[in-house]
Amino acid sequence: MHKITTDWKGEMTYEVETAGGKFTLDATPDSTGKAKGMTPKYLMLVALAGCTSMDVTSLLEKMRAQVADFKVDVEGDLTEEHPKYYDKVKMIYRFKGEDLQKDKIEKAVKLSVDRYCGVYEMFRQFSEVEYEIVYS
C-alpha cells in the first residue's frame, strides 16, 4: 500500500510526506493570480513524465543504447467545466546524441507507453494521450 500525508500550513500551502521524502504543494495565488508553487494537477503531469522517463532510461540501459541527453515534455489541456481535468495530453520524448539507435529508442518508448508505465495507463482512463519522439 502507498500512503502519503498532507499537512496544511495555511492559505493553500501543504507539506506532503511520502515514503521518498517531503515536498510542498502551494496553490496560494501570487500578485498575478498564479499559484506560487507546485499544484496537484501539475503533479499529475510530473508523475506521468517521471514514470515513463524512468521506464525508458531503464529499458535503454538494458538494451545498451546510449543517449547523450533525454527529456520528456508534457502538455496537458484542462477541460473548461468543473471538475477540471486533463482531457488531452501530449508527451514529447526528446533524445540527443551521436549515432542514436532509433529502433531501440522507439521500442523503449513503446514498451513504456503500452506495458510498463502505470501512470500512463491511468491517464488513458480519462484522457486522450498521444506522444511523439524527437531526435537532435
pLDDT of residue 67: 98
The DSSP bridge pattern shows strands 69-78 and 128-135 to be: unpaired
pLDDT digits (tens, 9 = 90+) for 50-88: 999 999 999 999 999 999 999 999 999 999 999 999 999
21-54: burial string, b at 16+ Cβ within 10 Å, e else = eeeebbbeeeeeeeeeeeeeeeebbebbbebbbe
Show the domains of the chain with their CATH numbers.
Answer: 1-38 (no CATH), 40-135 (3.30.300.20)
Q: Which residues of the chain have pLDDT under 70?
A: none
Taking the C-alpha atoms of residue 32 and residue 12, their distance in angstroms, rounded to an integer, is: 16
Cβ 52 vs Cβ 90: under 8 Å: no
For the chain, how many residues are written? 136
pTM of the model: 0.93
SS (H, E, C) 40-71: HHHHHHHHHHHHHHHHHHHHHHHCCCCCCEEE
In single-letter form, the type of residue at position 124 comes to: R
